[in-house]
Amino acid sequence: MAKKHVHSAWSKVKPLSPWYLLVAAVISGAVCVGAMRQNNLTMVKLRDQVFVADKNNGDVETALRDLRSFIYSHMNTNLDSGNGVKPPIQLKYRYDRLVAAEKARVTTTNNQIYTEAQHYCEKLYPASFSGGPRVPCIKNYVSSHGINEQPIPDSLYKFDFVSPAWTPDLAGWSLAITIILTLAFVVRLGLEKWVKHDLAGN
């Protein structure tokens, strides 16, 4: 009875040549490879747009958002380019500009404080000249009123986005179809050999 069902199933799948499945799997695999390559090229383009925006003081937030959104929804888009830079996205120019702006702010403020110190100490010691009490007065005033640079955490300007192992895009679906067709080819070929062996045993 079991053999009857097997032969009935075999008669239904026999017209489907396993080589059709193999050819379809190869085509689907080629589409998958092309789609994954295109995903990577698009990621590189979006990454370069981030670098350009950073260098030119442009809209880095939008460029980063576009890059992150693409990576999270497409396969084969990891940022690691093999150059050893970790993390791979570093907004060097933005960070350097912020550090320079902080230095300029502190310098300007301390210059103003020094001027204030001179006026204050001149009023406090109107008869004092160089070497008198006015000099330590100025030093003390600047020391007590001056400001220091605030550290800027560079971690806020470093990014790394990791793409999922599988995504429902062209690359992902073609990969899934390739796997299914390959499995179908193996099963179809195995079924044919098994049935022929079974018939030969009879």
pLDDT of residue 200: 59
Least confident of 37-46, 98-107, 190-199: 190-199
Residue 201 has pLDDT above 60, yes or no: no
pLDDT of residue 3: 60
Q: Is the model more confident about 136 or about 191?
A: 136
Residue 4 has pLDDT above 70, yes or no: no
Domain ranges of the chain: 24-88+160-202
pLDDT in tens, 151-166: 999 999 999 999 999 9
DSSP string, 41-101: HHHHHHHHHHHHHHHTT--HHHHHHHHHHHHHTSSS-----SS--SSSEE-HHHHHHHHHH
Burial label, 82 (beta-carbon count in 10 A; 0-12, 13-18, 19+) = exposed
Reported as a pLDDT band with limits 50, 70 and 90, residue 1 is very low
Q: What is the mean pLDDT of residues 29-51?
A: 97
